[in-house]
């Protein structure tokens, strides 16, 4: 299934441009060309060639484990023990993790418990303290890592414990070799873009002239987002890895949502809601709502309606970096609700607006193989996207609808055609 073809030199030469970069050619015919604007020029590395390297050896490693799942306990203890004793790293864990009664009873863990550095989620600032993150257990652990690091995110290595997830490419068997390999800098990276979201409250907006403006900058000083519902306080950014969802919440009325793109009114969405997702999120909730699957290296934002009341409202994919503004239509009977990666659910009132754009801080997700293989493996595993045997009945169908011209039928045919 995964047969890797040998690329002949011929074929290797054939690739003439990088993955997902804009056109390198700037001249069109003898006279036309793109206007130079030095402010808009930037240097980029071909995303397909992105590999992890370490500026200095990583020392502080944060281990995140799935909660409420006893099967994760033993791998967790093994991993932490190995990191401390073999790799001499400083292991950070969320303090609540150590309160787990099952973990407390684990004798092996008692010996290393005191060597772990703990922090309190939401109270302690991790900025610049963590060199490396290891996730154990499920896609939720990577979402949690994303939540913890609202600015620069250290490289993340994510192990699934059961079956492959969209965000967790590594299997735990022989984790030692794999972690060592990564620590030595042998790994491809997928930079998973995140969406930077902010709710601008009507009330706050009314007073913003006399308040400071830097709360809208990408980075706030705390390193922890603090979206709030009170009208008086400024909102701050929240970065999502999968999606921000606007829905009608508990209201029985349908949502009526205005969508603006770079300041332009694009459409009004009537239906159950709207999903704005990163490419990583295209295989999450957006998929259930009918979206196409977008590879995480495509620099794009996906806009997917939820049960739209117009047959012509297909999902759309727009370039990363555009700015979306979403607000309740003035004539809408009800408000909407917003949630960020399935969390922080809050009401969006008339006059409020949600702004979304691509963040400059992606999640650097370490690949098990490479950007392409990891993604298609997860599609196959999670969506049964490439599973031949599943198609047996439809193979049969193919015989039928295609022609079904089996021997005995051919004869009849020739009679019929006379």
CB of 154 vs its own copies, minimal distance in Å: 3
User: Considering the complex, what minimum distance in angstroms separates the CB of residue 171 from its own copies?
Assistant: 15
> CB of 34: closest distance to its own copies in angstroms?
5
Closest listed residue to residue 258, CA positions, set 357, 165, 329, 195: 329
Please count the other Cβ atoms lying within 10 Å of the Cβ belonging to residue 405.
11
Which residues, in sequence order, are CB contacts of 135 under 8 Å at separation 6+?
Answer: 63, 64, 65, 141, 142, 144, 145, 156, 157, 158, 159, 168
> What is the rounded (10 degree) CA torsion for 313, 315, 318, 324?
70
**Shortest Å, Cβ 329 to its own copies:** 10
Could you tell me if 344 and 328 are in contact, meaning their C-beta atoms sit under 8 angstroms apart?
no
Query: Of 84 and 200, which CB lies nearer to its own copies in the complex structure?
Result: 200
Which of 112/233 has CB closer to its own copies? 233
- Residue-level length of the chain: 418
Give the DSSP H/E element, type plus range, for residue 146.
helix 139-148
Q: Name the residue nearer to its own copies (CB basis): 176 or 369.
A: 369
Query: Among residues 111 and 288, whose Cβ is nearest to its own copies?
Result: 288
Query: Rounded to whole angstroms, how far apart are CA atoms 245 and 338?
Result: 6
Q: Find where tokens 């620069």 sit.
A: 152
CA distance 333 to 255: 8
Report in angstroms how near the CB of residue 180 gets to its own copies at its nearest: 16
Please, which residue, 111 or 253, has the CB nearer to its own copies?
253
- Are 282 and 294 in contact, with CB atoms under 8 Å apart? yes
Taking CA atoms, 139 is separated from 63, 143, 289, 369, 388, in Å, by 14, 7, 19, 18, 26
As measured in angstroms, the least distance from the Cβ of 69 to its own copies is 9
**What is the C-alpha separation between 101 and 73, in angstroms, rounded?**
11
Beta bridge partners of 260: 265, 325
Q: How far is the CB of 82 from its own copies (least distance, A)?
A: 20
Pick the closest to residue 200 from 227, 168, 160 (CA basis): 227
Q: How far is CA 178 from the centre of its chain?
A: 23
Residues with active-site annotation = 139
How many angstroms separate the CA atoms of 21 and 14, rounded? 17
Nearer of residues 107 and 392 to its own copies, judged by Cβ: 392
Compute the least distance from the CB of residue 114 to its own copies, in Å: 20
Which residue, 111 or 387, has its beta carbon nearer to its own copies? 387
Nearest to its own copies of 78, 226 (CB atom): 226
Q: Which residues is 376 bridged to in the sheet?
A: none
SS3 290: coil
């Amino acid at each position: 299934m995964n047969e890797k073809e040998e690329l002949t030199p011929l074929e290797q030469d054939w690739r003439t441009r990088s993955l997902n970069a804009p056109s390198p050619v700037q001249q069109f015919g003898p006279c036309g060309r793109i206007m130079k604007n030095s402010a808009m020029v930037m240097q980029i590395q071909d995303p397909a060639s992105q590999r992890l390297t370490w500026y200095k050896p990583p020392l502080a490693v944060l281990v995140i484990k799935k909660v409420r799942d006893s099967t994760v306990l033993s791998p967790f203890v093994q991993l932490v023990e190995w990191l401390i004793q073999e790799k001499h790293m400083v292991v950070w864990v969320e303090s609540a993790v150590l309160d787990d009664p099952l973990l407390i009873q684990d004798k092996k863990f008692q010996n290393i418990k005191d060597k772990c550095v703990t922090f309190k989620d939401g109270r302690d600032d991790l900025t610049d303290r963590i060199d490396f993150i290891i996730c154990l257990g499920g896609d939720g652990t990577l979402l949690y890592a994303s939540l913890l690091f609202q600015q620069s995110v250290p490289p993340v290595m994510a192990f699934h414990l059961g079956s492959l997830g969209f965000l967790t490419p590594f299997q735990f068997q022989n984790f030692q070799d794999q972690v060592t390999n990564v620590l030595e800098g042998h790994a491809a990276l997928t930079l998973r873009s995140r969406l930077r979201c902010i709710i601008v409250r009507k009330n706050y907006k009314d007073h913003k002239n006399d308040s400071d403006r830097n709360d809208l900058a990408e980075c706030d000083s705390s390193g922890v987002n603090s979206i709030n519902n009170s009208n008086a306080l400024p909102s701050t950014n929240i970065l999502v890895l999968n999606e921000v969802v606007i829905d009608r919440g508990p209201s029985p009325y349908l949502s009526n949502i205005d969508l603006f793109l770079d300041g332009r009114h694009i459409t009004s969405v009537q239906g159950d809601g709207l999903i704005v997702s990163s490419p990583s999120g295209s295989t999450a909730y957006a998929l259930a709502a009918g979206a196409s699957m977008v590879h995480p290296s495509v620099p794009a934002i996906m806009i997917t309606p939820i049960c739209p009341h117009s047959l012509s409202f297909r999902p759309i994919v727009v370039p990363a970096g555009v700015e979306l503004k979403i607000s309740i239509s003035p004539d809408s009977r009800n408000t909407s609700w917003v949630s960020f990666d399935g969390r922080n659910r809050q009401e969006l009132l008339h006059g409020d607006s949600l702004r979304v754009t691509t963040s400059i801080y992606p999640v650097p997700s370490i690949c098990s193989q490479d950007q392409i293989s990891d993604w298609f493996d997860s599609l196959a595993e999670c969506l049964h996207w490439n599973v031949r045997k599943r198609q047996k009945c439809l193979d049969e169908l193919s015989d039928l609808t295609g022609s079904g011209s089996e021997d005995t039928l051919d004869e009849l045919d020739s009679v019929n055609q006379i």
